[in-house]
Amino acid sequence: MIIGGVEVSRSVALAMIRGDVEAAREAAGRERRQQESLERAEAAEQGYYHEHGEWRWETMARQQAIAERAEHAEAVRAQREAAERAELARAQAFAAGRRPRTVPEILAEAAMFP
C-alpha cells in the first residue's frame, strides 16, 4: 500500500486509519461538550433574566453606576468637611491673633471680610 509516495505495510495503514478515526471521534466529543457547555451557559443567563427581569451585565452595570455615585458623593462630602475644618482653623488662628504668613492665608483672611 502506498500512502503519500511511501510504501507502508497493511498493519501500519490500518493503525493510521484507526488513529484518524479516534482523532475524529475525540474532535466530535470535544465539539459536543463545548456545545453543551454553551447551552448550559445560555440557559443560566435565561434563568437569571427570568428571575431578575434584566440581563446579568445590565445588573452589573447598574450596580457599578450606583457604586460610582456613592464614591463620588463620599468624595464630595469629605472635601466639604475638609474645607470646613480648614475654614475653622483659619478663623481660630485669626481670633487668637495669629497673623497670616503665606499668600493663601492672606487671601483667606481677606475673603473673610467682604
pLDDT digits (tens, 9 = 90+) for 40-79: 999 999 999 999 999 999 999 999 999 999 999 999 999 9
Do 44 and 76 share a domain, yes or no? no
Q: Give the residue numbers spanning the domain of 3.
A: 1-53
User: With 90 as the cut, is the pLDDT of residue 106 above it?
Assistant: no
For 46-69, b/e burial (b = at least 16 CB within 10 A) is: eeeeeeeeeeeeeeeeeeeeeeee
Percent of the chain with pLDDT over 70: 98
Instruction: Say if pTM beats, i.e. exceeds, 0.85.
Output: no
Q: State the DSSP code for 54.
A: S
Count structural domains, the chain: 2
63 inside domain: no
Q: Are residues 44 and 10 in the same domain?
A: yes
Specify the pairing of strand 2-3 against strand 6-7.
Answer: antiparallel
State whether 75 and 107 are in the same domain: yes
Type of residue numbered 2: I
What pLDDT was estimated at residue 100? 67
| Residue at 102: amino acid letter | T
Query: Residue 7 has what pLDDT?
Result: 80
pLDDT in tens, 73-98: 999 999 999 999 988 988 888 788 87
